[in-house]
Structure 1
Amino acid sequence: MGISTVGVIGLGYIGLPTAAILAAQGVAVTGVDVSPSTVDAVNRGQVPFVEPDLAGYVSEAVSSGKLRAALAPVPAEAYIVAVPTPFIGDHKPDLSYIKAAAEALAPVLRGGELVILESTSPPGTTRRMADWILAARPDLSVDGADGRPVVYFAHCPERVLPGRIMVELVTNDRIVGGITPEAALRASELYQVFCQGEILQTDAVTAETAKLVENSFRDVNIAFANELSLVADRLGIDVWELIRLANHHPRVNILQPGPGVGGHCIAVDPWFIVDAAPDEARLIRTAREVNDSKPRWVLHKVLDAVAGIESPVVAAYGLAFKPNIDDLRESPAIEIVRDLAATFPQATVLVVEPHVDTLPAELETFDNVRLVEAEEALEVGDVQLLLVDHTAFRGLSEQLATKRLVDTRGMTANRPQARVG
């Protein structure tokens, strides 16, 4: 008989969709979050962030009684931990959220439960999570040693794209790594409840590292495109045209450059590999440094564009880390707007972001930053700064192309324009 009750710890961009998709398959799910407002929203059947199709899943799951939210874990047959894993200081991983989740789970375990870590983590974190729980519960074990009841620990990294989460949760292949083979098998059986893709079993450390490698691969390729944009600018050529021509080679597929790299994965995960193997991960470190430096380069392009204007107005389009979502985590667009407002306080920065209603906390403290509609930004902006290629901005490309423009996304490429970057 399969697992019928699951606790999901963390109701963010990964935890809530996972809870909803399990509930849609008839599993009784309790979602746990430390935010009372998130818990209240979910219990009303509402979603506290933007993700296509998720609202329908959550509303139906709550109405059917299969999904409820709480501030603390309750007994269940399995738990999925999906809490943040940011970094602190000199790009060191912050595992405090995972430790807090482990300490909250420990008192409700009785033995026989499956505990899965989905949070993207440095190698060895699943084992550390198990150790934190077993330190609080020495009457339990991972392997039945001394006759103690077993808790099965596994890692299953999420690998979905914001904006397509509800589709990719079902269709993507999944990697499941257990601290023991039995843990990997049990975790695979849980994901088979909703996953139509192939489920690949391995050990926990390999599963943890696989997710980091996937995002580091993407980061390195983006860094190549971003570095090309610097080279092209120095040579006075159009990087978008350069890449278009190069990609006609049958074995070349260069990505598109941008203002930097954001989000909870690509901007963070490679540093976990660098931290784990600093002497060996030289290319990965360099790629991170290239991408982390790109917002500063964009800032200087904007400052060059407003040179000579005493109190310029800069119209900045987009704050999210990628198109068509409201996810602002690690967004280079926010970094650019913040640094512009701080570096040039005489400037006014008009932000156009159709997916949020208020400025994020990083920008609220600046008197010279305002959230406006596109019409106002187009009319009064001395310089137009395109940071995110939201679909909502596509209809503005002809107008933007006639303005003094810094286009970091190439949305107006191949249009006659007064381009400055």
Structure 2
Amino acid sequence: MENDADGIILTFINLLTAQLQIEEIFSFDEVRYLLPILIKMIQTGELTFKSDFDFKFKDAVEFIKNDMGEKSVELLKPENADNGDKQEIANIIFALLFILYKNQKAKFDYLCGKLDEKNSAEILQLLKRLDNFDRLSPIPFTSILNNSSNNLFSSNNSNFQIFSSQNQKDKLEEISKYKIKSAELEAKYNQIESINFKLNEQLGNAQNEFIDLENKYENLKQADNEKVRILVASSVFICVFHQQGSIELLNIQLREITDELETCRYNNSQLQRELKSLNERHSRAFQKSANDLKSKEDEVKLLYIRLDALVKQITEKDSSENKLKFMEQQIANQQGTIGELRSGLEQALDRANFAETELIKYKRLHNNNINIQNNTNSNTDSDNSISLHDDLNSCKITENQRFFVRISLGVFKYF
């Protein structure tokens, strides 16, 4: 056992389990069912069984208050102890041990003498520290034990476990009930065996008395004392019948208790197996949850990577759409300019066509005038030649302009 305050208290409680010949306890969760036994020992000085599975820590605090005073127990919180607070359980047990120390000093010293020297000195030191406090003010049990409300007693025993789930706690409490019930039945069994042994002795004595009475009866029979003989025979038979009936009744009770004890042992083993199975299922479920969580985390990481890629694609798409809109605007602007140029070029083409038509007319006129000019005088020929030369130059310029317009129209049609 550990030598801290909680460990010493649990060690002292296990002295009671050893005296009762029941299994050692390793957790304060199991102490609840020993409190009626401890309180009965405080009241009577005798360590005997007392079963009360409905017993609550508030009942123990009420007992402490009646002995130590209402003010001194103000800091005790039985409702926390009922909910499994290990520190509060230790405080209540510590107070009960103090009352045992004060009221049943001989019994306490006897039990304390079974501890090793170090543990014995330590628990006496704790009780003396408590005894120094004024009973008219709240006693700080937690401070005396020098232990926080979150500290739990731990044991070097490899079988000790602190069960976290409510189902495991319920199983542990039920097992504790069966342990105490089993120990109680074993004690009753031993008691009945002792009674049976005494009855067998009484039966032997009765048989001896019967033999003596038979001898006396034979003597009386020889004396021909009929009344005395009948009286003696009746007494003998009544005595034997009474003894045999008591023995048979005790044997029946012994068989019933033996059967009940076997049933409790069987139920206890069943609960142990169920508890082991529950622990295994809990471990498997925890491992599965851990694996599922890791898988989900990997999926989330993958989704984040895909999300980043999609955001990047959307950003690139928005940039491309902006560029496309800009190019469409530029094309629209160019198409407007092309439309204006096309309109101007079409007007120029119309003028060029008109000039071409006029040129054709002029050529025809010119050809007609050639014949006429052959018949005119030289002066007239000279003037007409100069005028005709100017007209031809004008026609060449017009023809060049029309060629340029056609080339320009072809270029804009390409766009």
- Give the TM-score normalised by the residue count of structure 2: 0.23
Higher relative contact order (CA 8 A, sep 6+): 2
Q: Which has the higher strand share?
A: 1
- Give the TM-score normalised by the residue count of structure 1: 0.23
Q: Which has the higher helix share?
A: 2
